[in-house]
A and B are shown apart, each in its own frame.
Chain A
Amino acid sequence: MAKVTIDGITVEVANGSTILQAAEQAGIEIPRFCYHERLSIAGNCRMCLVEVEKAPPKPIASCGYPVAEGMVVHTDSKMVRNARRGVMEFLLINHPLDCPICDQGGECDLQDQAMGYGMDHTRYAENKRAVPDKNLGPLVKTSMNRCIHCTRCIRFITEVAGVPDLGATARGEHMEVGTYVEKALGSELSGNIIDICPVGALTSKPYAFVARSWELSKTDSIDVLDATGTNIRIDSRGIEVLRILPRINEDVNEEWLGDKSRFALDGLKRRRLDRPWVRENGKSRAASWDEAFAAIGAKLKPLTGDRIGAIAGDLCDAESILALKDLLASLGSANIDCRQDGAKLDAARRDFYCFNTSIAGIEEADAILIVGANPRKEAPVLNARIRKAWLANGIPIGLIGTETDLTYGVTHLGTQPSVLTDLHAGSHDFAKILANAKKPMIVVGQGALARPDGSAILAAAWRLAAQVGALSHDWHGFNVLHTAAARVGALDLGFVPGPNGKTADAMMGGGVDLLWLLGADEFDPARIAANTFVVYQGHHGDAGAQRADVILPGSAYTEKSGTYVNTEGRAQRGFKAVFPPGDAREDWTILRAFSATIGKTLPYDTIEALRKRMEQINPVFGRIGFLPRFGCSDHTGPAGDPAVLSDAPLTSPVANYYLTDPVSRSSPTMAACVESHATPALAAE
């Protein structure tokens, strides 16, 4: 530790810290453009100049200057102010004065800092340089005249995203940031360069000229388009969601957000279900809520409990899942399932279906085995964490499944689940690596579970984890990587077939006469038996709604307050940003209202009462945002015989990152991404 005095405040900081970090600790903000705490230090903008006593008598860039014992720093002396004014004058030489039409206006670091260090006039009379704009694909808009060459975007794409597409070509006055050969950015995290760009050079293409930042109301929420549980901020104006940005949560997403979660929001305005529909004589017609409820009630009356079933989808909030479970229970049915893809998840114990190591825990791991998952497509933010661990510690990472670029070095062990048996038997090179690791991790993806031998693979992965020491009293290295945001919450609430209950597969195959789909769209609706009466409750006119006999319009995740449990098992709560369209209602209230019409009134009138009940069923819903980490002392594995593995190769369930759910399938921006990624090298002009 070193004692440093900054502007008269003495702080003790770790050796090797920079002056800028020490100043943060002392509560002093130093202006900066190129420095970013999650990227390597470039030291090229020179905005963070400070004066250090007894150092060379010149301004020192604090972002890259390590502290020393007894150092005395001044961050606001005359010399410092002069130096920063000089830097600012240089930065503004070539920066256009287009703040009034710049999308960054109002949330621009350069604009803010020019208020402190800028001049009210320019002394520069020569021509400004002009830089052609780059085409980086359908997500990131460029305005390269505004670029101040901080290189944050280059460092982000290279270091965090691991898809080195951006660079600085040429030099001096001719230096340009770009891809050199025109192409769309190949990263699933490319939208983050918009956030980290300190000026308006990189802005959101779909959001171009849509709104000014100060007009927006900001609502904290949780992303549901993958199972990472990324913390987001929904920016809305009136009834429209205009923008989604990440919120900082060090334990989950740091400050990153996947492109789908950021840009699929235009799908929230398209193909929406905004009123109830009832199918009569093969033809759907718009109906009132009463008519829709009456139609379901009439159908329901003669049925016994075992002929009624419900499937919960991937984007549902835990509140509506519990309401649906309670409704089915009141009707005497145990036919409930949240595994619409048929994943052989074992809900018997919580650590059988959670990402037990936790996302932050990935950084502690010293060996990782990925089974049947492509984390880059299934959970890009989590994948960035694996890359971070790989960069920091060079950990060995093995992959069983389709060979692909995961943005870090991977040993491809094979595509067949039998590799798990080889690893267990020790007859594989990677077995030794896992066995020697102190904190090994095994990550099982849905691609390994949503197949006939899924429970065998789950059991085999658990058996291997137990064998290599991934399960100890202070380390839980068995992980299930989910793709559905609602899945863990539904499993926590026991939304799986009860005693003698039917699975999703059995229900679709004619096992029930009335099937209630709560936002379940991820299957071929033709699988549902022809004479099954289907109720679809959800927000998009997707697969489920097309098959439905009654449609009950629900709310998307931006339109309701809801609890979501991410793949780690962390319960998080999102708030309502906008109202659902038309007659659509929040989902739990629909179920509550319907229960009253059939005389089985659910015992909660407020969302607080419902949440009380959630907490009674599973205490995880009582600790919002908090995730205690447990080791594993009980090595009893999930049900399934690890011996009966098939030879079918393991694949990822996410065939196309940009199209995974009703929201992204309705989004024109996502469609544009699909197109540009099919032909990454756009035609050169």
Chain B
Amino acid sequence: MQATSGSAFEQPASFAFDADSETEIAKIVARYPAGKQASAVIPALYIVQKQMKRQTGSAWVPVKGMDAVGARLGMPPIRVYEVATFYFMFNMKPIGKYHLQVCTTTPCWLRGSDAVTETCRSETGIKDFGETSADGLFTMTEVECLGACVNAPILQVDDDFYEDMDAGKVTGLLAALRRGERPAPGSMSGRQNSAPDGGPTTLNTLQFAPQGTVGG
């Protein structure tokens, strides 16, 4: 995790917030009372990551970006490094165009996350978690519970959840991404939100009494 040891990538020489980021950061900093700007560090790091995505196509947080956050929020740089490295959501090195985040926590695993991982591997040529495909399009990481267990397994691409995945759906999704398309996120099995697959299965024969006729 050390930025300076064994890094095979180059850190940009400088980083400055662009106009979009400035608007965002002003909005976030304004949420906190004077002297407590450090509270804005996590959203500010997201802003850096998004700006890198806009500017370089790769969503990650360079050291200079963390320094810029520290300078803006009046924090010593090391305090920003600590936060940024603590959370997996901040990529400390460049990633591919699409960030494939496979949930492998128990519910997803029971519902077939192994197949999702396997398909990601075979489709992209990535060998292990944390790697980027040779064409620079995909980076696959292993994440802990994404909180969508009811639609397990989940494959999160950048900020979007693709739910109810299986090998075939992953292949299709990756092919679409390669074509530059962004399929609508959500359940890939076609169900509505977390409703049962294939329509309602319970309470579908229940007749409700008209209002006002029960009780009293």
Contacts and interface: CB of A to CB of B under 8 A. Distances in A.
B82 A182 contact: no
Interface of B: 1-6, 63, 76-79, 81-82, 85-86
B63 A181 contact: yes
Given A180-B85, A181-B81, A685-B4, 20 more contacts: A134-B2, A164-B78, A164-B79, A167-B78, A169-B81, A169-B82, A169-B85, A170-B1, A170-B86, A171-B85, A171-B86, A179-B78, A180-B2, A180-B3, A180-B77, A180-B78, A180-B81, A181-B3, A181-B4, A684-B4
A334 to B, nearest CB: 55
Given A164-B76, A171-B86, A685 B5 contact: yes
A178 interface: yes
A168 B84 CA distance: 11
A685 B85 CA distance: 20
B2 A132 contact: yes
Interface string A168-207: 1111001010111110000000000000000000000000
Contacts, number: 49
A169 B79 contact: no
7 contacts: A164-B79, A167-B82, A170-B1, A174-B1, A180-B2, A180-B78, A685-B5
Contact of A170 (B5, B6, B76, B85): B85
Contacts of A132: 2, 5
Interface of A: 132, 134, 158, 164-171, 174, 176, 178-182, 684-685
Closest 3 CB pairs of A and B: A167-B78, A170-B1, A164-B76
Contacts of A166: 78
Q: Which residue among A132, A168, A180, A685 has the maximum number of chain B CB atoms within 10 Å of its CB?
A: A180
A158 B77 CA distance: 12
Nearest to A171: B86
A235 B5 CA distance: 36
B1 A181 contact: no
A168 B63 CA distance: 16
A168 B2 CA distance: 11
A311 B2 CA distance: 54
Contacts of B4: 180-182, 684-685
Contacts of A685: 4-6
A213 B2 CA distance: 33
Nearest to A167: B78
A130 to B, nearest CB: 12
Nearest to B67: A181
Nearest to A158: B76
Query: Which of A164, A171, A174, A181 is the most central at the interface, judged by chain B CB atoms within 10 Å of its CB?
Result: A181
A174 B3 CA distance: 13
B1 A169 contact: yes
Nearest to A166: B78
A166 B79 CA distance: 9
Contacts of B6: 685
A176 B2 contact: yes
B78 A176 contact: no
Contacts of B3: 180-181
A171 B6 CA distance: 19
B15 to A, nearest CB: 14
A167 B5 CA distance: 16
B2, B63, B76 — which one has the most chain A CB atoms within 10 A of its CB?
A: B2
A178 B5 CA distance: 12
B81 A167 contact: yes
A165 B79 CA distance: 9
A637 to B, nearest CB: 40
Contacts of A171: 85-86
A134 B79 CA distance: 18
Contacts of B2: 132, 134, 169, 176, 178, 180
Contacts of B1: 169-170, 174, 176
